[in-house]
């Protein structure tokens, strides 16, 4: 029985095959995703009919806007939607002139 003691990988590593990562483009793509999610949350919030005994105050509207923005940023950071990856790939291709 022959045991391979060579630590070199059988498959070339991904770092050799992928272009270098552009952190600035990733940041912009993530910010775009956060803005998109924030717009989506705002549109969903508009579909809810206002109700209740106490009318909504200006402070409550500001708080809801800030809460929506924070939720959108956290959702974008979780990378569950995948939009930032698509935007990043597109920005990377266009910045390289492909």
- Asked if residue 89 is part of any domain, the answer here is yes
Query: What is the pLDDT tens value at each position of the chain, 98 positions in all?
Result: 666 666 665 555 554 555 567 899 999 999 999 999 999 999 999 998 888 788 889 999 999 999 999 999 999 999 899 999 999 999 999 888 75
- Asked if residue 11 is part of any domain, the answer here is no
- Asked if residue 14 is part of any domain, the answer here is no
The number of distinct structural domains making up the chain is 1
How many angstroms separate the most distant Cα atoms in the chain? Answer: 80
- Asked if residue 8 is part of any domain, the answer here is no
- Residue 74 and residue 34 in contact, taking contact as beta carbons nearer than 8 Å: no
- Asked if residue 12 is part of any domain, the answer here is no
The alpha carbons of the chain give a radius of gyration, in whole angstroms, of 22
- Asked if residue 79 is part of any domain, the answer here is yes
- Asked if residue 83 is part of any domain, the answer here is yes
Q: How far apart are CA 9 and CA 15, in angstroms?
A: 12
- Which residue in this structure is represented by tokens 């949350």? 41
pTM above the 0.85 mark?
Answer: no
């Amino acid at each position: 029985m022959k045991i391979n003691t060579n630590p070199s990988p059988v498959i070339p590593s991904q770092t050799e095959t992928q272009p270098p990562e552009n952190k600035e483009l990733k940041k912009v793509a993530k910010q775009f995703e956060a803005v998109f999610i924030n717009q989506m949350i705002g549109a969903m919030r508009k579909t809810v009919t206002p109700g209740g005994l106490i009318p909504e105050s200006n402070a409550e509207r500001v708080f809801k806007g800030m809460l929506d923005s924070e939720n959108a940023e956290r959702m974008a950071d979780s990378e569950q939607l995948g939009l930032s990856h698509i935007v990043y790939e597109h920005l990377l291709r266009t910045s390289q002139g492909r």
